[in-house]
Amino acid sequence: MKIAMVGSGYVGLVSGACFADFGHDVVCIDKDEKKIAALENGVMPIYEPGLDALVETNVKAGRLSFTTDLAEGIDGADAIFIAVGTPSRRGDGHADLTFVYAVAKEIGATLRNDAVVVTKSTVPVGTGDEVERILADAKLDVRTAVVSNPEFLREGAAIGDFKRPDRIVIGTDDEFGRDVMSEVYRPLYLNQSPILFTSRRSAELIKYAANAFLATKITFINEMADLCEKVGANVQDVSRGIGMDNRIGAKFLHAGPGYGGSCFPKDTLALLKTAEDYESPTRIVEAVVKVNDSRKRAMGRKVLDALGGADKARGKKVALLGLTFKPNTDDMRDSPAIAVAQTLTDAGVEVAAFDPEGMEQARPLMPEVTMVDGPYEAIEGADAVAIVTEWDAFRALDLKRIKDLAKAPVLVDLRNIYDPQDVRDAGFTYASIGRG
């Protein structure tokens, strides 16, 4: 199969490299000349474990190439994936489909062979219909089908998620679309990944419903954590206890500082907009969005409490460890660390921060924070240490060294990566999430 991947961002690049690794002939296309030039030189535009090696192997094998020229890239392709960004539109939270439709128009203007056009970008229900209209307007004399194929990969685990997905969702009622997509995914479902064929609109909604459900699960356990603190229960036991029920499931029940990232915040908002447009309100998702937003600032206040309260915090120093929205990524989008840092600096606290991969992206988002080269540099002279992101490198910090370097032995662990008893035995004042 020849596959064209339009958009070489996170989803496009990972999917393109993985399809190539399965033996398909893949061209990744992007308008950004610098990005394409860098990729041709083996430089990845994002940090994703294993991606550089995967790209290198497949480029060398002649199965993966890059271009800025869409017409050239889609020439002869059996499947053309649209994997461009769908950010929240400024002002109203709707998904911005400008890039998706621009690509559809360009495909309409240049396509010369039968091909399936696949939306892989997360797009609201009905977007496939519009892409189909755009292609119909182009009056092509080749066969096309528009298919929805949402992507469920997680940053930091993207290659594994792509290669061993829980399921593959293909939305189409068209036989040609179905046949081509079956070929495209043959290497995966022969590997026993279930493939679910649905209507296009159902596939589009599945993506939003999945992300909104996961965001709900996280937000639910976060509220339980708050309750645990009040009633003297342990949220990790509560998670385990409910998660052992197969109907609930054990995953996505880690209480923390609130979800962030490129998908959950944007997709929950976009789902609310779709629900509003169709006058079918999704009140649970509305509550999830509100609760998660306020939680991030509340985490900043938790750190202030550890300093003795907001009125005593001015002039004190906090070491923030971990800034990205989760480990193994350099992505700072909607990271709880932004709100935590803002709450602290608003209260007159001096903040020094370290993150293994995210500092470059964090700098412009938190100009009042001093970025340092390692965890212990941040901790030097600090009145409290706050772990915001659970990078492995923070899981076994030298507590004795922290005590020597810090002004006061205070640890706020927003990811519950330490055992409360161990830390207290080491002489620390320790605060965590939902372990009352």
Q: Give the residue with the Cβ less far from ligand UDX, 8 or 144.
A: 8
CB of 76 to ligand UDX, least distance (A): 30
- Rounded to 5 degrees, φ, ψ at 341 are -60, -40
CB of 221 to ligand UDX, least distance (A): 7
Q: Give the residue with the Cβ less far from ligand UDX, 78 or 390.
A: 390
Q: What is the radius of gyration, based on Cα positions, of the chain?
A: 24
Residue 376 as a binder of ligand UDX (CB under 6 A): the answer is no
Q: Would you call 263 a catalytic residue per the annotation? A: yes
Which residues face 320 on adjacent strands? Answer: 353, 386
Q: Which of residues 321-340 bind ligand UDX (CB under 6 A)?
A: 325-326
CB of 240 to ligand UDX, least distance (A): 13
Q: Give the residue with the Cβ less far from ligand UDX, 260 or 375.
A: 260
Under 8 Å CB-to-CB from 135, ≥6 apart: which residues? 104, 107, 108, 117, 144, 146
CB atoms within 10 A of CB 361: 18
| CB of 368 closer than 8 Å to CB of 197 | no
Q: Which residue is nearest to ligand UDX (CB)?
A: 263
Q: Give the residue with the Cβ less far from ligand UDX, 225 or 306.
A: 225
Residue 270 as a binder of ligand UDX (CB under 6 A): the answer is no
Task: Please give the helix or strand (H or E) that residue 20 lies within, else none.
Answer: helix 10-21
State both tokens at 383.
């009145």
Q: Which of 73, 108, 260, 409 is in the footprint of ligand UDX by CB under 6 A?
A: 260
Which residues face 415 on adjacent strands? Answer: none
The 296-325 site mask, x for binding ligand UDX (CB under 6 A), equals: -----------------------------x
Residue 253 as a binder of ligand UDX (CB under 6 A): the answer is yes
Q: Which of residues 144-163 bind ligand UDX (CB under 6 A)?
A: 151-155
Residue 256 as a binder of ligand UDX (CB under 6 A): the answer is yes
The DSSP code sequence of 282-326 is -HHHHHHHHHHHHHHHHHHHHHHHHTT-HHHHTT-EEEEE--SSS
Alpha carbon distance 403, 361 (integer Å): 30
Which residues of this chain interact with ligand UDX, rule CB under 6 A? 151-155, 211, 214, 218, 252-254, 256, 259-264, 325-326
Catalytic residues: 263
